[in-house]
């Protein structure tokens, strides 16, 4: 319990509440005194010992609610709103230090539980098995019910195409595998085609952006006149596009 309290205090400190060791001891004594049965009582006891003024009380309430997320009740949901989603313990495979810095939520067994009626607890979605998702996926998945990512900036992950079972496509060869220099050369021969593909893609995008989402024949002829090249020749030259748009 002391460990969970210490991690909670760390979360408070991260949000700007100054907590001294003496105050932490007070908080642990307060928790001893009130017990862990009632979430609301635990919250009041911690608030009385850790938050010093009205501003800190607001921060405390926010951190407490985020940290000690009560089990959610869902009906038939598979991932959304599963109980304790915000407080999973990092799995043995995960890096402990990385997990520690990411998770500010105590493990479920340390967490004061909200009491539910029997009927409700039967409708809870089951915990996903630990092997269901990679640690990173859990770290960045949306918070249950809130539709936004966990703390952090990450908004998007671009996944690569699945590798075909039979090897052969040099573009899909795993680069971390043991490859000979000849195999590497074979992959390197694909680079010019990919450069051209990216160039064309970027050229089209910049063209659209410059003409407000529509292709404009007038703009094309103007730029051809300036560059002295036809539109088709121009399309191949990425530098001419970038120079004008920067």
Q: Which of 219, 228, 229, 232 is nearest to 245 (CA)?
A: 219
By CB under 8 A, the residues from 121 to 140 that bind other proteins are 134-140
Which segment (17-25, 68-76, 121-129, 190-198) binds other proteins by CB under 8 A?
190-198
Q: Does 244 bind other proteins (CB under 8 A)?
A: no
Nearer to other proteins, 59 or 202 (CB): 202
Question: What is the per-residue burial (b if ≥16 Cβ within 10 Å, else e) of 123-151?
Answer: ebbeeeeeeeeebeebbeeeebeeeeeee
* Secondary structure class of 164 (helix, strand, coil): coil
Closest distance to other proteins from the beta carbon of 63 (Å): 18
Q: Does 167 bind other proteins (CB under 8 A)?
A: no
- For 95-143, the three-class secondary structure string (H helix, E strand, C coil) is CHHHHHHHCCCCCHHHCCCCCCCHHHHHCCCCCCCHHHCCHHHHHHCEC
By CB under 8 A, the residues from 50 to 109 that bind other proteins are 93-95, 97-99, 101-102
Q: Does 43 bind other proteins (CB under 8 A)?
A: no
Phi and psi for 78 in degrees, rounded to 5?
A: -95, -50
* Secondary structure class of 209 (helix, strand, coil): helix
Which residue from 52, 201, 204, 208 is in contact with other proteins, where contact means CB under 8 A?
201
Kindly list the residues in this chain that would bind other proteins in the complex (CB under 8 A). Answer: 93-95, 97-99, 101-102, 134-140, 149-161, 163, 170-176, 178-188, 190-191, 194-195, 197-199, 201-202, 205, 238, 242, 246
């Amino acid at each position: 319990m002391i460990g969970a309290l210490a991690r909670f205090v760390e979360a408070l400190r991260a949000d700007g509440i100054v907590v001294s060791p003496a105050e932490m001891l007070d908080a642990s004594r307060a928790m001893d005194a009130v017990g862990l049965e009632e979430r609301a009582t635990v919250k009041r006891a911690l608030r009385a010992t850790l938050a010093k003024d009205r501003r800190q009380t607001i921060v405390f309430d926010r951190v407490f609610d985020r940290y000690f997320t009560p089990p959610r009740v869902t009906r038939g949901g598979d991932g959304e709103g599963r109980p304790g989603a915000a407080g999973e313990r990092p799995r043995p495979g995960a890096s402990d230090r990385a997990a520690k810095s990411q998770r500010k939520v105590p493990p479920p067994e340390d967490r004061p539980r909200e009491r539910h009626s029997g009927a409700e607890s039967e409708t809870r979605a089951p915990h996903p098995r630990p092997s269901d998702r990679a640690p990173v996926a859990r770290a960045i998945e949306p918070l249950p019910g809130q539709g936004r990512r966990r703390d952090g900036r990450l908004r998007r992950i671009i996944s690569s195409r699945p590798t075909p079972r039979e090897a052969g496509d040099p573009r899909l060869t795993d680069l971390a595998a043991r490859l000979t220099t000849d195999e590497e050369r074979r992959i390197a021969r694909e680079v010019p085609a990919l450069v051209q593909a990216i160039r064309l893609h970027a050229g089209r995008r910049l063209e659209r952006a410059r003409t407000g989402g529509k292709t404009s024949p007038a703009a094309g002829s103007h730029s051809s006149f300036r560059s002295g090249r036809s539109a088709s020749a121009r399309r191949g030259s990425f530098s001419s596009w970038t120079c004008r748009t920067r």
